[in-house]
Structure 1
Amino acid sequence: MKVHLSPKKEVYNFCEPYIIAEIGANHNGDMDLAKKMIDSAVECGCDAVKFQSWTPKSLIAKEEYDRNQSYDDSPKKHFGSLKEMVERYYLRDDQHVELKEYCKTKGVDFCSSPFSNEEVDLLVKLDVPFLKIASMDINNIPFLKYAAKTMKPLVISTGMSTLSEIETAVNTVKAEGNNNIVLLHCISIYPPKDKDIHLRNITMLQQAFDLPIGFSDHSFGASIPLASVALGACIIEKHFTLDKDLPGWDHEISANPVEMKTICEDSKKIAAALGNVFRTVSDEEEQKKSKFRRSIVLEKALKKGDIIKESDLAYKRPGTGIPPNEFLYVIGRKVNQDLEIDSVLNWNCFE
């Protein structure tokens, strides 16, 4: 199955992956920093930059704010209370418009994760190419229904979810007549241990749902997302920052420009190198056969009329004569001329 994520990109399993630089809230509420991140993502070769669309009211209840006066779900220290951070980091409506227009001038797709119906409406109004559904909302059935009704492609992360929950989410979207679904294998730990990533779930999800499957990565570095390409991941979503030491929630586990450029460039190489399952010999390889393969040659000189014995034969380069696998057709033949040692045999050497 194929899904058109944007006018310029169609994704399917084992395609050249669509690379999303997940800026999220790494702009830290600073539009100049956000634009610098967009510029860098474009230079790295990303297809899209993604933000997060939430407000202090749409994401977190008062009870959670009251309980989390400090935010400690990360090894990096943060300023102030959870409420203060949410207030600083959320994107205002006009900032969405500003960033969307900036992305347009840079030729990169602008997308975002909505967290309420109102934010879905905002993103649809901005004509984003698709809606990214965060892992936390895979069991938010009313929200999935609302997003599905837009008929925008839905890219759904599967972190924290069971296979049954994924199936319910997919069926919920399809029930609204929207079949444009991409699932992202995801582990919602920042960062996860290598043993807990289970990249083979990509293969499992491909088989279970017959949908394009990508990978939303929270690991350090470039190796794990690149490995996902070898399993056919059609999307790589990777948190992105200019500096891992910046204050904020996700900078430390994000790819820096060097790592992101590696992901963008090497993922294309891996996708191209995977090729297909059919055994083929390229034209270039065919041309090498005459140089690199062996021919049947004489182990000793022979006179005209001598009968070839197996002990008379050796096998050496170049591969321009009779190939070694046809030696049985040579044994017992009579030579029609005098032949020197190391002569490359061909069929006109015999009577």
Structure 2
Amino acid sequence: MKSIKINGKEIYNFCEPYVIAEIGANHNGDIELAKFMIDAAINCGADAVKFQSWTPTSLVSKEEYDRNQKYNDSAKKHFGSLKEMIEKYYLTREQHFELNQYCADKGVDFCSTPFSKEETDLLEELDVPFYKIASMDINNLQLLSYVAQKNKPVVVSTGMATLAEIENALNTLYKNGCNDVSLLHCISIYPPLYEDIHLNNITMMQKTFGVPVGFSDHTIGYSIPLASVALGACIIEKHFTTDKDLPGWDHEISADPAEMTIICYESKNIAKSLGSYTRVVSKAEQEKKLKFRRSIVTLKELKAGHILTMDDLTSKRPGTGISPDLMDQLVGRTLKKDVAEDSLLTWDNII
């Protein structure tokens, strides 16, 4: 089974999931809020916190800025223009270093999504444990080639991508020296309709590409990421906030601390519970049999020499005597000693 390692943790299909709390830009440009969210994610049990590494010039073109001069937003989740939000919400170089050190001091993995070669180099300086490629960049072969050469594991979201594009992305990473790759099934709608999620794609990609496959989730709540674990999702990436009512792009569809706690702990319980394809009766269940199963008992007092009939027998707890599935073998047999009514028969009673 193919696997990757992130900070010494082995990631493979059907393992206990590596849970990434995707803070992204939910810090809203406030470094103290970012630290508060890191602490909250740690308390929830997340393995990693993830940010996004972009600048006002690395992600959005002038034409896109010009088309988005004002948000028509009655919910007041946005303000001003796209450019104003980008300039407020991006993390500076110094903030990257500060948050990386904060995570190191707290014992949680710091990771981020680079959107350019320069940001990839910045994350390399921070010695991130892996690189995350956003769905929008699965066909950005130049960026994939550059990231692959950093000799770190790469986790690729597959939202909006065809199978051919996924295959091309994997081949680009392999060709440039990166063999430690995990895919994330993803639907790039916030939130998607349930009928558009197609969790069975997780199984399909496991079989098609032979790599660890996780799930990058944009649904509301926790039921769908937990369901993905039952299909073997080895990484769960979920947007995270401490307050769904904060202004900003993703707070409303993010998990809050109560939801993230459920995802972190219950996903591990689900992975443990999947167990083996081999039918196993545990030691505890073997012991339970003695109390909960039935044994053959007599319906009335019977004398030595009596030939047993079906009318003489029934079955009741406990399961310490002759099993009821052997009742046909007792019929026609002869008692060697007297037996009281409602007594468990044993083979010692039988000639």
| 1:197 equivalent in structure 2 | 197
Aligned mates of 1:41, 1:201 — CA distance in 2? 28
Aligned mates of 1:167, 1:76 — CA distance in 2? 40
SS in 2 for 1:259: helix
| 1:331 equivalent in structure 2 | 331
Question: Does 2:101 align with 1:101?
Answer: yes
Alignment of 1:99-178 (within 5 A): 99-178=99-178
- Check conservation: 2:77, 2:246, Cα contact below 8 A: no
- Tell me the alpha carbon deviations over residues 45-72 of structure 1, each in whole angstroms, 9 at most, x when there is no partner: 0000000000111101111111111246
Aligned mates of 1:339, 1:57 — CA distance in 2? 93
Single out whichever of 70-79 and 228-237 deviates more from structure 2: 70-79
| 1:212 equivalent in structure 2 | 212
Question: Does 2:3 align with 1:2?
Answer: yes
Aligned mates of 2:242, 2:316 — CA distance in 1? 57
| 2:349 equivalent in structure 1 | 349
- Quick one: which amino acid aligns to residue 36 of structure 2? K
Percent of aligned pairs with the same residue?
65
- Quick one: which amino acid aligns to residue 230 of structure 2? A
- Check conservation: 2:295, 2:324, Cα contact below 8 A: yes
- Check conservation: 2:296, 2:321, Cα contact below 8 A: yes
Structure 1 residues 200 and 258 mapped into 2: Cα distance closer, same or farther (>3 Å)? same
- Check conservation: 2:4, 2:11, Cα contact below 8 A: yes
- Check conservation: 1:111, 1:130, Cα contact below 8 A: yes
Alignment of 1:186-335 (within 5 A): 186-335=186-335
- Quick one: which amino acid aligns to residue 282 of structure 1? S
Deviation at 1:253, TM superposition (A): 0.6
Deviation at 1:176, TM superposition (A): 1.6
- Check conservation: 1:58, 1:115, Cα contact below 8 A: yes
Deviation at 1:177, TM superposition (A): 2.4
- Tell me the alpha carbon deviations over residues 101-150 of structure 1, each in whole angstroms, 9 at most, x when there is no partner: 00001100000000001111111111000000000000011111111111
Aligned mates of 1:283, 1:244 — CA distance in 2? 46
Deviation at 1:329, TM superposition (A): 2.1
CA RMSD of aligned residues (A): 1.3
Deviation at 1:77, TM superposition (A): 3.6
Deviation at 1:74, TM superposition (A): 10
Structure 1 residues 332 and 124 mapped into 2: Cα distance closer, same or farther (>3 Å)? same
- Quick one: which amino acid aligns to residue 231 of structure 1? L
Aligned mates of 1:96, 1:128 — CA distance in 2? 11
SS in 1 for 2:50: strand
Aligned residues: 350
- Check conservation: 2:294, 2:317, Cα contact below 8 A: yes
Aligned mates of 1:290, 1:3 — CA distance in 2? 45
Deviation at 1:324, TM superposition (A): 1.1
Aligned mates of 1:21, 1:188 — CA distance in 2? 17
Aligned mates of 1:25, 1:320 — CA distance in 2? 63
Question: Does 2:18 align with 1:48?
Answer: no
Structure 1 residues 93 and 200 mapped into 2: Cα distance closer, same or farther (>3 Å)? same
SS in 2 for 1:57: coil
TM-score, structure 1 length as denominator?
A: 0.97
SS in 2 for 1:184: strand
- Quick one: which amino acid aligns to residue 238 of structure 1? K
Structure 1 residues 75 and 272 mapped into 2: Cα distance closer, same or farther (>3 Å)? farther
- Tell me the alpha carbon deviations over residues 259-305 of structure 1, each in whole angstroms, 9 at most, x when there is no partner: 11111111111111111111100110000111111111112221111
- Check conservation: 1:321, 1:344, Cα contact below 8 A: yes
- Where do 4+ consecutive residues of structure 1 move more than 4 Å? 71-76
- Quick one: which amino acid aligns to residue 6 of structure 2? L
Deviation at 1:313, TM superposition (A): 1.3
- Quick one: which amino acid aligns to residue 105 of structure 1? D
- Quick one: which amino acid aligns to residue 4 of structure 1? K
Aligned mates of 2:193, 2:174 — CA distance in 1? 34
Aligned mates of 2:16, 2:60 — CA distance in 1? 37
SS in 1 for 2:260: helix
| 2:64 equivalent in structure 1 | 64
- Check conservation: 2:21, 2:239, Cα contact below 8 A: yes
